[in-house]
């Protein structure tokens, strides 16, 4: 169980990530779907631009952060007993692993398209 104060912070952070995702999610969807084609060259050219790769990192991280916050609420509501803590930690670790994978990918993509 989280201590007093954690719940307020969680509630506030969930709204912060939600507001960020309204903008970043819209950016991601329209940028991706506006590509002339979803092929390797188009995607690498798109995400080689500094601003675009920065936005992709922000989008990926906010999406995973918001996802972790949402899963925590669901776990708090539906998973009782000993599995409650395990489920929360499993979700955190999976989301953290995904966030690291996103960071590594975006870093590679920002180096530019391969010749």
Partner 1 sequence: MQAPAPAKAPATLPVRPLSPHLQVYRLALTTVLSGLHRISGLVLTLSTPFLVAWLVAAACGADAYASAARFFGSWPMRIVLAGLIGVFWYHLFNGLRHLAWDAGYGFGLARARASGMAVIVLAGAAFAATLALTPAWRWLLELP
Q: List residues binding partner 1 (CB under 8 A).
A: 15, 18-19, 21-22, 25-26, 29-30, 33-40, 43-44, 47, 56, 60, 63-64, 67, 70-71, 74, 98, 101-102, 104-106, 108-109, 114
Which residue lies nearer to partner 1 by CB, 7 or 101? 101
Please, what is the minimum distance in Å from the beta carbon of residue 115 to partner 1? 11
How many Å apart are CA 41 and CA 11, to the nearest integer? 41
Please, what is the minimum distance in Å from the beta carbon of residue 55 to partner 1? 13
Which residue lies nearer to partner 1 by CB, 4 or 33? 33
What crossing angle do the helices spanning 50-78 and 82-110 adopt, rounded to 10°? 170
Which residue lies nearer to partner 1 by CB, 64 or 88? 64
User: Could you give the C-alpha distances from 112 to 1, 30, 49, 57, 77, in angstroms and in order?
Assistant: 45, 22, 8, 15, 44
List, in order, residues 6 or more apart from 35 with CB less than 8 Å away.
42, 43, 46
Please, what is the minimum distance in Å from the beta carbon of residue 79 to partner 1? 13
Please, what is the minimum distance in Å from the beta carbon of residue 85 to partner 1? 19
How many Å apart are CA 51 and CA 57, to the nearest integer? 10
């Amino acid at each position: 169980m989280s201590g007093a104060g954690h719940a307020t912070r969680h509630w506030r952070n969930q709204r912060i990530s939600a507001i960020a995702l309204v903008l970043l999610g819209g950016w991601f969807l329209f940028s991706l779907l506006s590509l002339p084609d979803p092929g390797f060259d188009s995607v690498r050219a798109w995400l080689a631009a500094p601003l675009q790769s920065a936005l992709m990192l922000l989008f990926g991280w906010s999406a995973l952060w918001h996802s972790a916050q949402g899963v925590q609420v669901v776990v708090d509501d539906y998973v009782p007993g000993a599995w409650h803590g395990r489920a929360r930690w499993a979700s955190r670790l999976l989301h953290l692993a995904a966030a690291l994978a996103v960071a590594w990918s975006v870093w590679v993509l920002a180096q530019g398209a391969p010749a």
